[in-house]
Amino acid sequence: MKSLSQKRRHPLAVVALLVMGLLLTGALYSVASSANKAKADTGFSAADVTAGQKLFVANCATCHGMGAQGSPAAPSLVGVGAAAVDFQVGTGRMPMAANGPQAEQKPAQFNDTQTRQLAAYVASLGAGPSLPDPAMTDGQGDATHGGELFRVNCAMCHNAAAAGGALTRGKFAPPLAGVTAQHIYEAMETGPQNMPVFSDANISPEGKRDIITYLQTIEKQGSPGGAELGGLGPVSEGLFMWVAGLGVIIAFTIWLTSRTS
């Protein structure tokens, strides 16, 4: 130790100390923070994984490859996690019916058990986002905060009233009415199709819960002002006025100026 203390005035001592300090902070942070941590799902049994592999080989491997390592037709699924599988397969987007600007939603091809088995298999390939904690999808969060997060993060594609919107070259953000809380959570976590990933560092699990709460609130409350005409804003309102409003008015003008001859 004597030699070390003698070297304390060495020109590189500051650098060494800095490196040690940074390493220590980094290590402590990674221990303390669970954000951005990819974790392998542990909730699945080995039987789930085996059954899932069989389903995968029969239904998905044509494009995603035998070991889900990907092919020119489809990306690798190693590390996409159970959440991605549950969303894509659970909403019927996968298996994809046809190549297009983006995978379209359709009636789910697999039941809940099969979807879970597929998720178990893909989760076993590498660490990725796991299925959401049911406590985060219960819709008991803060709707006001969720609304604010929704307007700042989601409304530019999904529309302020969650009615959906257009993206470039045939891609689109779908309307969110009728989407289950779990699928919304998984979409935010995994960023399916053209959606960006909203990781836990970007929007915390509680924030996601608030967004889900907001969406459920506006869906449940209905439209306070009467029929909402698709919730699409001024275009549908203008169209309604020109077609229905002016149409009725014209019918009345014809009636008023008609003669019984």
Residues that bind other proteins (CB under 8 A): 101, 143-144, 146-148, 151-152, 155-161, 163-170, 172-173, 214, 217-218, 221, 223-229, 231-242, 244-246, 248-250, 252-254, 256-257, 259
Nearer to other proteins, 22 or 244 (CB): 244
Nearer to other proteins, 121 or 150 (CB): 150
Q: Are 209 and 138 in contact (CB under 8 A)?
A: yes
Q: Residue 151, Cα to own-chain centre: how many angstroms? A: 15
- DSSP letter for 166, please: E
Q: How far apart are CA 244 and CA 227, in angstroms?
A: 14
CB burial of residue 85 (10 Å; 0-12, 13-18, 19+): buried
For the bound state, the minimum distance from the C-beta of residue 244 to other proteins, rounded and expressed in Å, comes to 8
Question: Please, which residues have CB within 8 angstroms of residue 144's CB and are 6 or more apart in sequence?
Answer: 214
For the bound state, the minimum distance from the C-beta of residue 186 to other proteins, rounded and expressed in Å, comes to 21
Nearer to other proteins, 116 or 158 (CB): 158
Nearer to other proteins, 52 or 147 (CB): 147
For the bound state, the minimum distance from the C-beta of residue 197 to other proteins, rounded and expressed in Å, comes to 19
Q: How far apart are CA 41 and CA 125, in angstroms?
A: 10
Using the structure block, give the residue that is written with the tokens 């257009």.
166
For the bound state, the minimum distance from the C-beta of residue 259 to other proteins, rounded and expressed in Å, comes to 7
Query: What are residue 74's phi and psi, to 5 degrees?
Result: -155, 155
Nearer to other proteins, 108 or 239 (CB): 239
Alpha-carbon Rg for the chain in angstroms = 27
For the bound state, the minimum distance from the C-beta of residue 122 to other proteins, rounded and expressed in Å, comes to 30
